Structure 1
Amino acid sequence: MFDRLALIRSYTGKPQGCISRYTAPLQDRLFVALILYNGKLQNIIPSSAYRRDGCERHQVCLFQNFELLGVQMSVMAPIGIRSIEANKLFGYYTYQLPGEDEDKDLSNFFILYGDNGSGKTTILRLVHNLLVPESMPGARSYIGRTAFQSICVKLSDGSKVSAIRAEGNITGNYDIVIERPESDSRVFPMVLDPNTQTVTVGVEPVIEALKEFNVYMYFLSDDRRTVDPYIKKGADANYIWIRDEHGKIVDRVPRPNGESSHHLDIEPMLARVSSTARRNALKGSNRGEEDAATIYKQVVARISTPETYTDGEKTETSQKLIERIKEIGNITQKFAEYGLTSSFPADDFLEMINSAKVNDRNLIGRILQPYVEGVEARVRALQLVYDMMNRFVSNANFLLHPKKATFTLADGIRILDVRGKPIKSNNLSSGEKQLLLVFCHSVLVRKAGSIFIIDEPELSLNIKWQRELLTRMSAVAGDAAVQFVLATHSLDVLALHRSSTVYLENLNNEQEDNGLRDEESEDDGGEDDEEPLQAS
């Protein structure tokens, strides 16, 4: 939390934000506390702070040019998983991950490694279903049908989210307990219907409490079907559903030839990534055009208002403009490869400036400067899109060679063979499909405070790709606040990430099999009798 008020202004003109509960009693007029994170304004105070202290949200209009006003503030780090504790999983496995004496770096990767049948997949599913902040079909019901005494997920902010049964019980009803620093514990009873073994009531309060963590959960299972809480209920499998960066459905496109969804049909995922890039590019393009339109109004004012410079100042001004033009030329050339911008005629401008007289250079600079600033505004607005797709393409090509991944706004993502001819995605090898699928998800999961859970990321990959996978996967996600939680059997995946690997060592000496273990069981029920989610 914060002990001083901070305000960030934005070009959006939309009221956003909230106030620190420590600041509220000290202010006659309440404003907002925001941080600029990953190119977006994010609220930094949870709703619980207001409900607990009786504070109110007060809106304020935001203006152009991000700026912090007059105070320092600490930045709240995105929440990740610090540890997982399971007691009597399947009746006899007890784990503390990592152990008390283990010093692990789990901020980027949290890797589970253990023997077959030790419960890795079940632990991943339990963690996802315990933390997912949406009314996702079967999430809380899956927990109810899994045998354990308790499971506790400790988060990086000191909070705990647990599923606990009464002493001596490892099946049936359970409580979800949420503990947060400086807050009272909250207990939510989960009661299974005796006929369907599903949780149908009491889920909504849990979901509202989980939303306060502002964590986006994403699960890619070992059959490569995505458990995605934002997909439409009853979504038609013959369509590819397109979402914005907040998870909202914004469009749909038919699957090729009306084919039904399949976990290794990667064309829908490639289409989703391409659509995300196009949508963000359109936003960036509009931003640049709006700024350029405003800047162009300055041309007449610049020409009509006399300015006096010494010869030295004229030379310095011209040189700075030349450097800016060169930089824009280099950047737009890269952007043009992806169809984000047209090429900037830097060489033509530089030739005209260099051939002009000193006095004329000053006038040329005054006329060109608004145009240059407009192009710079557009470049800044499109930088995130370029970075996102450049990371995808460059990391994919590092492993796909001699094949090649390309991207343009017009054509989307395409895979080319050694002759430069397009390859249908369904004609790629299983390993190539798996690689591209994981990379696509790494792009789409780029949200502040995301936890991306993947079961056996090494499937169908050769040893070389297994060794590179996690590093490349993280590179595709870029600077997004994503924690990857993985379960693997591959020593090659672990080779470069031993400091992030936790071995599943059973702390329970009782090796009695109570017939309750069913690690491979599928989730066959849903909360509120909703239809199961469609696979992505």
Structure 2
Amino acid sequence: MRIKEISITDLFGVFNHIIPLNLEDRITIIYGKNGVGKTTLLKLINGIFNSELDYIVNIDFEEFIIKFEDDIYANIDRKLKKTYLYSLVDKYQFEYDLDDIIKVRLIEHDRLLNLAASNLSEKYNRQSLLHSVANYAQELAQNIQEKLTEYGTLSQSLDRTFPARAVQQNRLPELTDAIFKDKLNKLEKKRYELIDYGLLNRDENTDIQISGDIDESTKKILSIYIEDAEKKLSLFDDMARKIDVLKRIINNKFYYKQINISKEKGFTFTTDDGKSLSPTNLSSGEQHELVLLYELLFKVEPNSLILIDEPELSLHVEWQVQFLKDLQEITQLSNIDVLIATHSPDIIHDRWDLTVELKGPAE
């Protein structure tokens, strides 16, 4: 279930805000003068959906309503620390935990510090800046290794039953020689892409070259081989798409360096002159960008609402202009909605159609 509107009355005893979410573009931007409650709103939404009701009690407001699709809306009683859901169709009311309906994740402007502290379960110190980047590199390596284990298990199962399935294959595949060759070429192209993404080893020599006509017995064998190979490689589809986006965005933005993905180290970097560069040696702005992208691509659950507070604080002006374009690609890939609070016109750039201005009572 997706949120379509958020409204609050008498925030700080002063402000009334209505925020319709852009469900089609999946990105909504709120902006306004200092003091109108942009960051507070994000923290309230996060607190409501993540059962941090003690924070909500300390914020002065009269009414907070969240409207969902399907004519369901939530009303938060901050004094009782309870959330009530209402159905406009069936006209009923019930108490409910909103985190059972939709997952919400808040990424604050000092996200690198907060993530480091939370990941390590320790109080923040200066070394924590480096730990979040190092931890995510290690986490990606572990995820790749787990996917490779799954790939190996499926490969063994299919390879073990291949001879029996080949013998039992009675139906001749209704495919032309050209289609067979095209399928084989696509498989090899996909393998090379997965090798480039660090998901397959380079020593896997499975290239099958076929020249001339294909006889019927070969077609039967090839049809099973192609079907098995497609099943095996499809295990990497989701991770490969995310790694592709991560690599393209990072390599387009980071100067004089390229990101590399491997099952041993997760992600590392190479300078233009071929020298290895640890992710912990990136600039603070580059580390912030890397952590934000990793969060959005690999840490969020599908159908979540992601709250991003002032992303411009760690971004170069050129990166701010590119921010929404990159984010739009990620929202579609990860199937998430995003609500951003910003002061930066460079973040908004030419997408004022995505914005909602938070105004004062006299405006």
Q: Tell me the TM-score range normalised by the shorter chain.
A: 0.7 to 0.9
Q: 1:277 to 1:175 in 2, by over 3 A?
A: same
- Judge conservation of contact 2:312–2:342 (CA < 8 Å) in 1: yes
Relative to the length of structure 2, the TM-score reads 0.86
Residue identity matched to 1:109: I
Q: Please state how far the C-alpha of 1:122 moved relative to its aligned partner.
A: 0.5
> How many Å separate the matches in 1 of 2:49 and 2:25?
17
Q: State the SS of the aligned residue for 1:341.
A: coil
Residue 305 of structure 2 is aligned to residue 451 of structure 1: yes
Counterpart for residue 197 of structure 2: 338
> How many Å separate the matches in 1 of 2:113 and 2:304?
15
Which has the larger Rg? 1
Counterpart for residue 29 of structure 1: none
- Judge conservation of contact 1:111–1:502 (CA < 8 Å) in 2: yes
Q: 1:292 to 1:463 in 2, by over 3 A?
A: same
Give the one of 211, 215, 224 matched to 2:111.
Answer: 224
Q: Please state how far the C-alpha of 1:280 moved relative to its aligned partner.
A: 3.7
Q: 1:415 to 1:339 in 2, by over 3 A?
A: closer
Q: State the SS of the aligned residue for 1:410.
A: coil
Residue identity matched to 1:160: Y
Q: 1:339 to 1:391 in 2, by over 3 A?
A: same
Q: 1:173-212 to 2 correspondence within 5 Å?
A: 173=80, 175-186=82-93, 188=95, 206-207=96-97, 210-211=99-100
Counterpart for residue 198 of structure 1: none
Counterpart for residue 188 of structure 2: 329
Q: 1:264 to 1:381 in 2, by over 3 A?
A: closer
> How many Å separate the matches in 2 of 1:226 and 1:272?
18
> How many Å separate the matches in 1 of 2:93 and 2:130?
38
Counterpart for residue 66 of structure 2: 153
Task: Show CA shifts across 1:247-290 (max 9, x none).
Answer: xxxxxxxxxxx996448842223333443344344334434543
Q: 1:269 to 1:116 in 2, by over 3 A?
A: farther
Q: Which runs of 5+ in 1 are unaligned?
A: 1-78, 166-171, 189-205, 239-257, 512-536
Aligned length: 359
Give the one of 299, 316, 320 matched to 2:179.
Answer: 320
Q: 1:459 to 1:278 in 2, by over 3 A?
A: farther
Residue 126 of structure 2 is aligned to residue 298 of structure 1: no
Q: Please state how far the C-alpha of 1:413 moved relative to its aligned partner.
A: 0.8
- Judge conservation of contact 2:257–2:269 (CA < 8 Å) in 1: yes
Q: Please state how far the C-alpha of 1:363 moved relative to its aligned partner.
A: 3.1
Q: 1:308 to 1:293 in 2, by over 3 A?
A: closer
- Judge conservation of contact 1:391–1:478 (CA < 8 Å) in 2: no
Residue 18 of structure 2 is aligned to residue 96 of structure 1: yes
Give the one of 265, 274, 285 matched to 1:420.
Answer: 274
Q: 1:295 to 1:498 in 2, by over 3 A?
A: farther
Q: 1:81 to 1:264 in 2, by over 3 A?
A: farther
Q: Please state how far the C-alpha of 1:478 moved relative to its aligned partner.
A: 4.3
Q: State the SS of the aligned residue for 2:308.
A: strand
Counterpart for residue 484 of structure 1: 338
Give the one of 110, 115, 118 matched to 2:33.
Answer: 115
Q: Which runs of 5+ in 2 are unaligned?
A: none
> How many Å separate the matches in 2 of 1:225 and 1:333?
34
> How many Å separate the matches in 1 of 2:317 and 2:74?
37
Counterpart for residue 522 of structure 1: none
Q: 1:476 to 1:105 in 2, by over 3 A?
A: closer
Q: Please state how far the C-alpha of 1:381 moved relative to its aligned partner.
A: 2.0
Q: What is the alpha-carbon root mean square deviation over aligned residues?
A: 3.2
Relative to the length of structure 1, the TM-score reads 0.60
Q: Please state how far the C-alpha of 1:83 moved relative to its aligned partner.
A: 1.9
Counterpart for residue 84 of structure 1: 6
- Judge conservation of contact 1:83–1:96 (CA < 8 Å) in 2: yes
> How many Å separate the matches in 1 of 2:133 and 2:211?
52
Q: 1:121 to 1:371 in 2, by over 3 A?
A: same
> How many Å separate the matches in 2 of 1:345 and 1:237?
46
Q: 1:504 to 1:419 in 2, by over 3 A?
A: same
More RCO (CA 8 Å, sep 6+): 2
Q: State the SS of the aligned residue for 1:339.
A: coil
Counterpart for residue 266 of structure 1: 133
Which is richer in helix? 2
> How many Å separate the matches in 2 of 1:458 and 1:334?
33
> How many Å separate the matches in 2 of 1:446 and 1:375?
29
- Judge conservation of contact 2:30–2:358 (CA < 8 Å) in 1: yes
Residue 201 of structure 2 is aligned to residue 279 of structure 1: no
